[in-house]
């Protein structure tokens, strides 16, 4: 499957909100996927254009409970001193609630462009809400994320590049998977970048050189074999 590295770290250490106390010590990294960016929108008619405009008590949709956005966006708002009314739900449902006036802000974390945001943008005028450099500094000091810039070209009506934060997404599997199967899987994905790009633009980051974005999760032996055959050195302490 695929997982962002924040929840993977929590699961590895037995701190997952979905299975507290259970260490997922058979989890193994297979290959890097893309950066999962945190971003948010509001209806232009709301007048909400920045984090400062998000007031205590405002209704903010953050994705499914237990997922990456549902876990980390409430922490991010808390870090920024915002006491918002967090609402959980699927992306399509939250997009509908935003358009119906049942939410003030729709926040999410996903690869770019995020289809639900593009769909809302096509139907109604929206504001894309990013972070200031000071806000990013506060967030990265307390959460397992990195600074990230969303290019203006990502969405039709986004007026400029937008500063935010992101978390890397990796393909993972069980340590019990056969080495030969994992090797061939990694070979197939890493060797067909153009085909991956034709499926989703976020795949532009699905490149072998991004293997070093994994700093804690052991690599499956089949993945280690492929990467090292192709000139990449996996640290000894991450060979699983």
Q: What is the pLDDT of residues 153-168, one digit of tens each?
A: 999 999 999 999 999 9
Least Cα distance to 48 among 90, 87, 91, 84 occurs for 84
Going by the DSSP 8-state scheme, the letter that residue 53 receives in this structure is G
Q: What's the pLDDT score for residue 199?
A: 75
Rounded distance between C-alpha atoms, residue 234 and residue 81, angstroms: 40
CA 56, 62, 64, 65: dihedral to nearest 10 degrees?
A: -40
Rounded distance between C-alpha atoms, residue 51 and residue 104, angstroms: 12
Set out the domains of the chain in order of their start, with CATH numbers.
Answer: 2-33+171-238 (3.40.190.10), 36-167 (3.40.190.10)
Please report which residue ranges of the chain form alpha helices under DSSP H.
5-12, 68-79, 91-99, 115-123, 133-142, 179-190, 193-199, 221-229
Q: What's the pLDDT score for residue 61?
A: 98
Rounded distance between C-alpha atoms, residue 43 and residue 15, angstroms: 36
Q: What's the pLDDT score for residue 201?
A: 73
Q: What's the pLDDT score for residue 17?
A: 75
Q: What's the pLDDT score for residue 52?
A: 97
Q: What's the pLDDT score for residue 188?
A: 94
Any residues with CB less than 8 A from the CB of 219 and at least 6 apart, and which? 28, 29, 30, 227, 234, 238, 239, 240
Q: What's the pLDDT score for residue 13?
A: 85
Q: Which residues of 190-213 are buried (b: 16+ CB within 10 A; e: fewer)?
A: beeeeebeeeeebbebbebebbeb
Residue 207 DSSP SS3: coil
Q: Output phi, psi for 171, to 5 deg.
A: -80, 135
Q: What's the pLDDT score for residue 119?
A: 94
Residue 31 DSSP SS3: strand
Q: What's the pLDDT score for residue 22?
A: 85
| Three-state SS letters, 150-174 | ECHHHCCCCCCCEEEEEEEEEEEEE
Beta partners for residue 11, in sequence order:
none
Low-confidence residues of the chain: pLDDT under 70: none
Q: What's the pLDDT score for residue 88?
A: 97
Q: What's the pLDDT score for residue 194?
A: 82
pTM strictly above 0.85: no
């Amino acid at each position: 499957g695929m997982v962002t590295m924040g929840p993977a770290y929590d699961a590895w250490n037995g701190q997952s909100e979905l299975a507290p106390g259970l260490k997922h010590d058979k989890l193994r990294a297979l290959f890097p996927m893309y950066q999962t960016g945190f971003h948010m929108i509001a209806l232009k008619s709301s007048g909400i254009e920045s984090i400062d405009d998000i007031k205590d008590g405002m209704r903010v949709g953050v994705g499914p409970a237990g997922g990456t956005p549902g876990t980390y966006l409430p922490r991010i708002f808390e870090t920024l001193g915002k006491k918002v009314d967090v609402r959980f739900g699927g992306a399509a449902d939250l997009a509908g609630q935003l358009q119906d006036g049942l939410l003030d802000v729709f926040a999410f974390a996903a690869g770019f462009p995020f289809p639900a945001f593009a769909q809302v943008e096509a139907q109604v005028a929206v504001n894309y809400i990013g972070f200031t450099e000071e806000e990013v500094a506060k967030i990265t000091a307390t959460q397992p994320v990195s600074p990230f810039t969303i290019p203006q070209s990502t969405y039709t009506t986004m007026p400029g590049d937008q500063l935010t934060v992101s978390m890397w997404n990796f393909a993972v599997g069980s340590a019990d998977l056969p080495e030969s199967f994992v090797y061939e899987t990694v070979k197939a994905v890493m060797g067909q970048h153009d085909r991956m790009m034709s499926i989703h633009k976020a795949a532009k980051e699905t490149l072998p050189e991004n293997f070093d974005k994994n700093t804690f999760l052991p690599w499956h032996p089949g993945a280690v074999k492929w990467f090292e055959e192709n000139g990449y050195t996996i640290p000894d302490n991450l060979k699983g």
